[in-house]
Structures are given as C-alpha cells and as structure tokens.
Amino acid sequence: MNELIAPAWKDYELIDSGNEEKIERFGSYTLIRPEPQALWDRKLSEKEWIKHAHARYKADTSTSGDWERFKEIRSPWILPFHGEGFDLKFNLKFTAFKHVGVFPEQSANWNYLYHFLKNCGIAQPKVLNLFAYTGGASLAAKKAGADIIHLDSVKQVINWSRENMESSGLKDIRWVVEDAMKFAVREAKRGNKYHAIIMDPPSYGLGPAGERWKLEDQLNEMLKYTLSLLSPDKHCFILNTYSLNLSSIILKNIVESNIKVKDPDYGELCLNSKQNVILPLGSYYRFVKS
C-alpha cells in the first residue's frame, strides 16, 4: 500500500488540519471546512486559523449547512491548476454541501491519466468518467486528446463541468446525465470498450430518476460491468472512494476478483499540509495495461 500525496500546487495549499477540520487556501481565499478524518490536534491555534480564514463552513445536518464569512469573497472565482504537461482552470463557488468544486487530492490522478493517454500510442483514446462531478479527470483526459464521456446524475454539476471546460480552453466533451449503474450495464450489453475508465463513486446518492445508491451494497456489482468495458489491449483504470468503511485492500480484493491485474497501485489518497502533517482523505486503486 502507498500514500498517494498530491503534488505541490501553486494556487492551492492545505495549511493545517485537526479537531475534525481543515484550513485550505484556494487561490486568494482561505477556507475552513469539516474533515472527519482529522482526529488529531491542530498545529496552529484557533486564533491563527480565524486570522487567515475568509469563510468557515458550518454543518446544519449531515448533508447541508452554510458558510460563515469573515472577509469579502467574490464567488465564483477561478482556480488554475498547472499539471505535468497541461493546464486547467476550475470555477469555484460555495455550496450547501461544504464542497467548492474541486478535490485537490485528485490532482495526482489527473497527472497519471494524462500521461497514460499521451503515451498509449492511440490517436484518440476513448475515456469514460463515471460519477464525474466537476470534471478534473475529464479535463485532463481532453487535454491529452481523448474522446471522453463525462457522466453524472446531477444536471447542475454537468453545467458546472461545462463551465470548467470552457474556462480551460477545451470543447467537445460528451455530457451524460444518467444513473452510472444503468449506463454501465447498457454499455456492457452493447460491447462498447474504453481505453481509460475513472470511477469516483459517492458513499450515498440518488440517480436522476431517484435511483438509490449505497456504495458498499453496489460497488462489487458495478465493477463487474465497468471492468468489462476496458479495452483488452491497452487500458487505464482509476477508482477512488471516500467511504470510511472501504479500505484500499477491500478495493483491491473487489477489483481483482473481476479482472487480472499486473502491478496495481493502491493505498490512501492524501494531502500534506504546510505543518507537514499528512491528511488521508480516501482510498484509491489504479492500474495500467500498455
């Protein structure tokens, strides 16, 4: 198992974490957000956190909350990302679910995907991004010249992804608003194949027609269909989960019960703070066949 620590990012930094919160800088703005895995004491004092923060997210329930603003913020705002051979731009804004539109820990996977697609020797590789949210992986794949399907069950998130595409100087990503399981089953029946597949499923969720999703109950079945969509000759597969109940060993066992894998890379998806404290945020499992 590995610690996959996101690369240094000029316009983003994790400043500190602890006491079930984290403080991060997104471009010009510094935000405090809940982080249930940060069970240790923070390095900096509450006074230092508040001194630097522009806003703090306060949860009302397990699924919603509001932002307390300490300083003026123009929302939305642009956050640039300079990858290994490509540049992206994200439109950030406040949501009622503590997210702002980007998951910086995923940047290591964006680089991984981009390098596979650029070096796989296929003129226009086919990519499927399931549970794609605001599209960091979709943008990286498009920068590499891929033909990509970006799927999410929430239309507003698809619109947000389109804004990021346009801000990044890209076009022609194919948008699909659908339940991921239904799409994967249909693609498997059609015999369609992809050179890269990215999965970042939520712990819980609803499809566009009210389909209920619980990760632990459906991941194994979902992977049976999704892994069958990989092109047999060359492919790349990336799976991330943020459920505390799913370790990378569990991901490994599920994936490898469905497909033969050589030299997988798996472990914890992490950020390192300015205080040099590593914050684990989820589990990942990925591999390439080239």
Per-residue pLDDT tens over the stretch 86-133: 999 999 999 998 999 999 999 999 999 999 999 999 999 999 999 999
CATH value at residue 178 = 3.40.50.150
Q: What are the φ and ψ backbone dihedral angles of 204, each rounded to 5 degrees?
A: -140, 155
213 belongs to a structural domain: yes
Domain region containing 280 = 105-289
Residue 267 lies in a domain: yes
Whether 274 is in a domain gets the answer yes
What residues contact 195, with CB distance under 8 A and at least 6 apart? 117, 120, 122, 125, 126, 127, 146, 230, 231, 234, 235, 236
Residue with tokens 């597969």: 237
User: Looking at residues 157-177, what average pLDDT do you find?
Assistant: 97
Number of domains comprising the chain: 1
Q: Is 74 among the domain residues?
A: no
Distance CA 214, CA 204 (A): 5
Please tell me the distance from the alpha carbon of residue 97 to that of residue 158, in angstroms, as a whole number: 17
- pLDDT score for 33: 97
What is the structure's pLDDT at 209? 62
Q: What local confidence, expressed as pLDDT, does residue 203 receive?
A: 78
pLDDT for 141:
98
pLDDT given for residue 217 in this prediction? 87
